[in-house]
Amino acid sequence: MRIAGVDEAGRGPVIGPLVIGCVVYSEEKIHYLDQIGVDDSKTLSPRKREIIAEKIKETCDNFEIYILTPEQINKLHYQNHLTLNQMEERFFAEVLNSLKPHPDKIFLDACDTKEDRFGQTIGSMLSFKPKKVVSKHHGDSIFRIVGAGSILAKTARDLEIQRYKEIYGEIGSGYPSDPTTQRFLYKYYKTHLKFPPIVRTWWKTAEDIQKKVNLERTQKKLSDFT
């Protein structure tokens, strides 16, 4: 019996990718999750996540990490008119379909307001028929197998954010409420009149900054004539 857990990291940020982490353990080996200290990734320090992530990769039967870049997210929104929920559904299913052999049981962290509907949607998109699909809000804190997927996703996202910082300097956490992130977005847009490719340009934070800078430019032009 093969058991899979799937979760994402980076759903809410205006900067950075959406990362999906999937982990598969056989029933005989799933006890390793307790032994290596798997927990909800949000309760672990970055260094602790890195250590546990390596242990997960060493002890699991299979794992997949899918990174959906900001450029892909923007394209799927503008050209395919997909919501973030629909993107998650598509790529959760793609990751699960890519697993060989296929898992017998699947546990998901639900992004839909209706957790059962999310599980049913994913189930309908699979190329195989698992014995069970369980979808729960806060699944990473309920099921250790989902927590393991969360750790892989979060660790991969942390590495991407660090790579961005090496290119662009201090960008903050990437979350809309982060003042450092807001300052970076404002300064970058004001200088270049566009956002870098690491930004989800349809996020309200980005749209508000774009409007603010454009308004400032318009007001400056008008003041030049007075």
User: CA torsion, points 151, 146, 39, 31, in degrees to nearest 10?
Assistant: -110
Q: Residue 43 has what pLDDT?
A: 80
Residue 156 tokens read as 């991969």
pLDDT per position as a tens digit, 53-101? 999 999 999 999 999 999 999 999 999 999 999 999 999 999 999 999 9
More confident residue, 218 or 210: 210
Return d(Cα 31, Cα 21) in angstroms, integer. 19
Rounded to 5°, angle at Cα 46 from 147 and 166 = 125
Domain 170-224 fold is: Arc Repressor Mutant, subunit A (1.10.10)
**Could you say which architecture CATH assigns to the domain 2-164?**
2-Layer Sandwich (3.30)
Residue 132 tokens read as 């069970």
Residue boundaries of the structural domains of the chain: 2-164, 170-224
Looking from the CA of 99 toward its CB, the CA atoms found within 13 Å total 31
Arithmetic mean of pLDDT over the chain: 95
Q: Residue 41 has what pLDDT?
A: 72
Helix axes 70-78, 84-98, angle to 10 degrees: 120
Has this prediction a pTM greater than 0.85?
yes
Q: Residue 208 has what pLDDT?
A: 98
Q: What is the largest CA-CA distance in the chain?
A: 78
Query: Quick one: how far is CA 4 from the chain centroid?
Result: 18
Burial of 14 (0-12, 13-18, 19+ CB in 10 A): buried
pLDDT per position as a tens digit, 90-116? 999 999 999 999 999 999 999 999 999
Predicted confidence (pLDDT) at residue 218 exceeds the cutoff of 90: no
Q: Residue 84 has what pLDDT?
A: 96
